[in-house]
Structure 1
Amino acid sequence: MPPRILVVDDEAPMRELLRIILEAEGYHVAEASTLSEAHAQLHRNRFDLVVCDIYLPDGNGLELIRTARQNNQETPFVVITAHTTPAQAITALREGAVDYLSKPFDVEVLKAVVGKHLAPAAPQPVAFFGFLGQAPSLWPILQRLPQVARSDATVLITGESGTGKELLARAIHAASPRAAAPFVPVNCGALPEPLLESELFGHARGAFTGAVREKKGLFLEAHGGTLFLDEVGELPLTMQVKLLRALQERRIRPVGDNREIEVDVRIIAATNRDLEKLLKEGQFREDLYYRLNVIHLHVPPLRERREDIPELARHFVSRACNRLKLPTKQIHRDVMAVLENYPWPGNVRELENIMERAVALEPSSVITLSALPTTLLGQGEMAPSSGPVRLPEGGLDVEAHLHELRREYMRQALARTGGVQKEAAKLLRMSYRAFRYHVAKYKLVED
């Protein structure tokens, strides 16, 4: 749908002129001749921009801006008037106008001003208490995070290994009313059942061989805060029963003890397994599943959120440099293109490890291809699909060879898609941004 603009001016010829100019640019235009008409239009409809005269028959156009701001409307206002003084311009901008034009105005200047304020803003990386992301595939999570954090409901986070499920859980805790209390993680798949029960619920002295003293369990450690149950899909069925009872009753019974202890914890669980499939196979209890799955957040794999790779890579490089007390290193654009092009089977965790390795191995202030592992370069570039790879007797310039391979595959992809770069990028599993960069680098459009 085209952007909607409201034109407010008491002169009919001026409104008509503005309508003709703006509709020719593809905008949808509505009109108002008075302040009251403009108020009514803004009350009934949503506009992407308002072009407003200051002097109107029933009041000052700046009142329209004040009212909009008081009603928390963020619609940008461009003020146009024949009575221009520096004081008026300053006043209009202070009231919240984004620009100021004087009559008679240059048509091209008007188009430029309107276009500037209606151009889609580049998405900014969201850092929700340490959880970074801006990709459209993350929006369903990012939009809900503030409400999820304020709630005390149980959360189930799903996603492949390494996607940042624990980081998301920590972000929810940090933004919650429980932030001052502990965040206690436990890996449900890392401990055998007897030890896991003792870890979660604690044990009494003498409960079993080696229990020489009473132990406080992780439920009590997290009292008032958040208990993060990672890899909850690995829980044995008998432990699932005991966990379900603790969640329902909000009480725990330490191993070997007859006492029941009240606990106040919020549960966030995570798994990389398909719990619904485990339900059908009888490996996960249905009642526990519904107890955990009150709020479900699915973290997409990194290959589905390639827009986040540059910001995440820079974040990991900066963090590694700070830890090693080094000046922050930059990332060469060829390296960034490889990062954006790699399938990332290990997801965000793999990216973090590779950037930390690159910081340690790169002697210069800019991370270059030589600091990346060969496995990354082999899959980041399009390798031959068949036949053995043989090194010529006299050797070769591997960087030039890889670049030539990429250029040839890109040329063929463009030919196959009739020059449509987005479709060609999909054929090569490349991000559109990386594809455009190499199209310009190799002058493929000219070809």
Structure 2
Amino acid sequence: MSSIRVRFAPSPTGYLHVGGARTALFNWLYARHTKGTFVLRIEDTDRARNTPEAVRVLFEGLQWLGLDWDEGPLPDGSVRGDRGPYFQSERSAIYDRALRLLLDRNQAYESDGAIRFRMPRKKIVVEDLICGEVGFDCTLEQDFVIQRKDGSPVFHLVNVVDDLDMGISHVIRGEDHLSNTPKHLALAAALGGTAPRYAHIPLILNRSGSKMSKRDLGASLSEYLDGGYLPQAVRNYLCLLGWSLRENRELFSIEEAVERFELGQIHRSNARFDADKLLWMNGSYLRSLSPQEILPHAERWLESAGYPTGKWAPGYLQEVVLLVKEKVKTGKELVEWARPFLEEEVRFQPSAVKRFLNPDGIRALRELLADLSAAPDFAPSALEARFHSLAQVHGTSVRTYVHPARVATTGREVGPSLYPTLTILGKDRVLQRLRRAIETVAS
């Protein structure tokens, strides 16, 4: 059995940042690659900032990404494994013992009501698995607080105590924590424990080249949940923020990532977040899904948008989803493109009406209405033949009928292929919409 034990230790103060999601993913990948253990630990000692809602959002994000943990709290707050609990707010007795030990050894002292750790005045070398050997001159380092005046323990103490107590073998975290590592090594030594190996992953930068913050667009994982992104696409993209297969291929399965993930292959340079690339990747994943795979996602997106999917036969919804998915990149776009199939009233885009439902367009619709009323076959190929035949009879281009027909039946200038659209809507609804468009504009 592998002795690798890694952890994801977020502080639930609002939402799951994409940087935190990537940290969780890299820890999960390393645990799964080495057949080790992935521990979830909630660092909730800051009672003023931590909320139950933030914890719920955190669980929801990890579950959506498919990052299951081996030890730690379950989403309902109960404990998985036999080493819980994994909420730091419930581990105060463990931190109190560590504080007493440091005070008894004169490696910590009280100062103005707080407790400070005596930082050793020497050079400390961090043997980082990604950054390499990094030296820190701590000869002028100040002693630092490990317990506040109000009695609450500080991040540095609880982080180290928990890593030792839980037998964490590797700490994989953002490079912004590298400067904290000398303190954590010193604390581990003072407590008589063996510190984990450290691996600091590169920062994620925004478009302007600075560290991606909570204020940046696209920084919250919830944006992708709500925007109709696929978890496998987001997961794939997060992998690329610091790691790759080292071949000319960016789309790969999570199984491939697990098989080939190595800490030594994580890039040293910072990663720039590219929202356009993620959008492209999501579209690629969406188009590749089979009918059985995409329908559950589509139903969830539609339900969230206020369309109770039980109103329509599964076969009808599947036809609609398979038609529009070829043209969209997100579930949010899929819902927009599906609206004409799910609503009886057509929502006309003013620009589309102005451009295509002018007098020439209305004349074309009248000719089309007369022709389609007599159509015995409403299959896409039969409809295409009738459009071309009608254009030939009137000595005009087939576009003369295609664009007004699209606007009359969907309200839009652009959309999925017209002939399958008309087939799915059905003859009765198509004729009704053609009449309504003619009457609406004529009046």
TM-score range, shorter chain: under 0.3
Q: TM-score, normalised by structure 2?
A: 0.27
Higher relative contact order (CA 8 A, sep 6+): 2
Q: TM-score, normalised by structure 1?
A: 0.27
